[in-house]
Amino acid sequence: MDTDGADETHTGAGTPGIPGTPAIPGSPDTDVTPAALTTPGASGAAAGGPVVIVGAGQAGAETAAALRDRGFTGPVTLVGDEPGPPYGRPPLSKDYLTGGVEPGGLALRPPSYYRDHGITLTGRDPAVEIDRDGQRLTLASGRELPYAALVLATGARPRPLPVPGAGLAGVLALRSLEDATAIRDRLADARDVLVIGGGFIGLEVAATARRSGARVTVVEAGPRLMARAVSAPMSAFLAGHHREQGVRVLLGREVTALRGDAAGRCRVAELDGGERVPADLVVAGIGVLPNCSLAAAAGLAVGDGVLVDDRLRTSDRAVYAVGDCARFPSPYAPGRLRLESVRNAVEHARRVAAVLCGDTPPPAAVPWFWSEQYALRLQIAGITQGHDRTAVAGDPAAGRFSVLCFRGERLVGTESVNRPADHMATRRLLESGAPGPAPADAERPGFDLKAFTRSPQPV
């Protein structure tokens, strides 16, 4: 059930289709109330009052677990709108689609964990209203939950596909287990798969569909793949690799309409320029919108996400936001970020649990992301958006290389394909604040980032 209306104060450009990427870093916070966002004050939850978490996804479930790990003994309730216990989404675009993982294998923790740790799961009963004055949350069933602290972990939903025919059978988006199961069922007998959007999700689905034997076309409106998430050299590598695997990659092209048969099932996509592409399964991966209408309706500051400070506090000191729905300040990038990644959800959960327990939150970790496509493991350390220079280390032709991204002379992140040592070295480097290699160093043939980080650096 989509409980989020289209009433965000500002949805912004977002980051189409890509978990693990920042959404419009540094974009204007049109409706921020800076004073409200920096209001100090201990949370009531620190005194053991009830903590209610809206959203039983990655960030919500990790928040509940992190509270218990910290010794929080008050009541914890996890309000969900999906059936079943909290599960992880990464396999949904990968092994789950080919039957390599079954629903039971997606669970973040066994159901007994919640029972044993006194965490109440409401089941499928979405939150519909926050009464901030009375500190009560109302669920769709009419049930009311009083809270000392409320944590919004409502995630994001797929951006709707704005083309005629988007409602045909066989035209699907991918966010939930239900979505993935529908795609998996159709993939079993699909011959022509069309992926709209060349972001993380689209490319992972394309790789999985290709592996299952389907003919696959990716249509990306932008000039390169994953343009908001990775550098131009990485985009070019990925386009080449997908093409080598037999995927037809169309860049700078748009789907203008989807046409179905008499039974209402999608059969053909029309592209700009008039080309018709056979398509009996269409997966749209054109980005997500953060679920923040609940927050907006309650008068909280929102703007492409629920706006929070460095302690994950919203403009109400009793309400927090974590995970994909939260837009937060980071020491690793200018402005506020909204990140769509497991790592970010887990990091937020740990930080908010510390704050709710009255402890000092751990320092913000370097953001990092991953994606799997065919035998490629792409890892990104740092926030590379806004880089103005790159250096390639390793051998793209051998499928093992890294793109180091610089802003000016400063290393801001590294995108690695099957080079985990570079990924780890970058995370350590950024975390330590030590000077990284200059672009000229990294451009030298044979440059080794791991070796660089081990040699003493001038301060």
Ligand X SMILES: Cc1cc2nc3c(=O)[nH]c(=O)nc-3n(C[C@H](O)[C@H](O)[C@H](O)COP(=O)(O)OP(=O)(O)OC[C@H]3O[C@@H](n4cnc5c(N)ncnc54)[C@H](O)[C@@H]3O)c2cc1C
Alpha helices in 200-311 (DSSP H): 200-211, 232-244, 293-297
Binding ligand X by CB under 6 A: which of 12, 17, 20, 394? 20
Number of residues in contact with ligand X under rule CB under 6 A: 40
Which strand (E) or helix (H) includes residue 334?
strand 333-337
CB of 22 to ligand X, least distance (A): 12
CB of 349 to ligand X, least distance (A): 8
Q: Which two tokens stand for residue 358?
A: 């009255």
Using rule CB under 6 A, residue 289 touches ligand X: no
Using rule CB under 6 A, residue 138 touches ligand X: no
Using rule CB under 6 A, residue 22 touches ligand X: no
CB of 150 to ligand X, least distance (A): 12
Identity of the amino acid at 393: A
Q: Which is nearer to ligand X, 174 or 333 (CB)?
A: 174
* CB count in 10 Å sphere of residue 120: 16
CA dist list (Å): 235 to 182, 407, 449: 29, 18, 21
Using rule CB under 6 A, residue 367 touches ligand X: no
Using rule CB under 6 A, residue 96 touches ligand X: no
- Give the integer Cα–Cα distance in Å for 45 and 293: 24
CB of 81 to ligand X, least distance (A): 4
Which strand (E) or helix (H) includes residue 306?
strand 306-307
Report CA 306 to chain centroid distance, whole Å: 15
Binding ligand X by CB under 6 A: which of 25, 60, 170, 439? 60
Residue with tokens 């008068």: 299
Work out the burial of residue 268: count CB atoms within 10 Å of its CB; fewer than 13 is exposed, 13-18 middle, 19 or more buried.
middle
Residue with tokens 């975390």: 431
CB of 364 to ligand X, least distance (A): 17
**DSSP codes, 296-356:** HHTT--BSSSEE--TT-B-SSTTEEE-GGGEEEEETTEEEEE-B-SHHHHHHHHHHHHHHH
CB of 328 to ligand X, least distance (A): 12
Using rule CB under 6 A, residue 126 touches ligand X: yes
Binding ligand X by CB under 6 A: which of 127, 219, 383, 424? 127
Q: Which is nearer to ligand X, 241 or 253 (CB)?
A: 241
Cβ–Cβ < 8 Å for 130, 139: no
Using rule CB under 6 A, residue 342 touches ligand X: yes
β-partners of residue 220 are: 251
Question: Which stretch in 7-15, 69-77, 297-305, 334-342 sits in contact with ligand X by CB under 6 A?
Answer: 334-342
Identity of the amino acid at 336: R
Q: Which is nearer to ligand X, 175 or 210 (CB)?
A: 175
Using rule CB under 6 A, residue 79 touches ligand X: yes
Question: Which stretch in 25-33, 151-159, 217-225, 446-454 sits in contact with ligand X by CB under 6 A?
Answer: 151-159
- Give the integer Cα–Cα distance in Å for 381 and 383: 7
CB of 176 to ligand X, least distance (A): 7
Q: Which of residues 314-333 bind ligand X (CB under 6 A)?
A: 323-325
Using rule CB under 6 A, residue 387 touches ligand X: no
Using rule CB under 6 A, residue 195 touches ligand X: no
Closest CA to 170 of 154, 156, 187, 153: 187
Cβ–Cβ < 8 Å for 26, 386: yes
Question: Which stretch in 221-229, 243-251, 342-350, 440-448 sits in contact with ligand X by CB under 6 A?
Answer: 342-350
Q: Which is nearer to ligand X, 136 or 265 (CB)?
A: 136
Using rule CB under 6 A, residue 175 touches ligand X: yes
Binding ligand X by CB under 6 A: which of 27, 341, 373, 402? 341
Alpha helices in 8-129 (DSSP H): 34-37, 58-69, 111-116
Binding ligand X by CB under 6 A: which of 29, 304, 340, 347? 340
Using rule CB under 6 A, residue 414 touches ligand X: no
Using rule CB under 6 A, residue 59 touches ligand X: yes
Cβ–Cβ < 8 Å for 247, 217: yes
- Give the integer Cα–Cα distance in Å for 242 and 277: 18
Binding ligand X by CB under 6 A: which of 136, 343, 389, 410? 343
Binding ligand X by CB under 6 A: which of 52, 64, 92, 404? 92
Q: Which two tokens stand for residue 329?
A: 């300040």
Closest CA to 338 of 8, 1, 108, 5: 8
Cβ–Cβ < 8 Å for 162, 147: no
Question: Which stretch in 147-155, 189-197, 422-430, 433-441 sits in contact with ligand X by CB under 6 A?
Answer: 147-155
- Give the integer Cα–Cα distance in Å for 370 and 117: 30
Using rule CB under 6 A, residue 80 touches ligand X: yes
Q: Which is nearer to ligand X, 286 or 325 (CB)?
A: 325
Binding region for ligand X (CB under 6 A): 3-4, 19-20, 54-60, 79-82, 89-90, 92-93, 126-127, 153-155, 174-175, 201, 291, 294, 323-325, 340-343, 345, 369-371
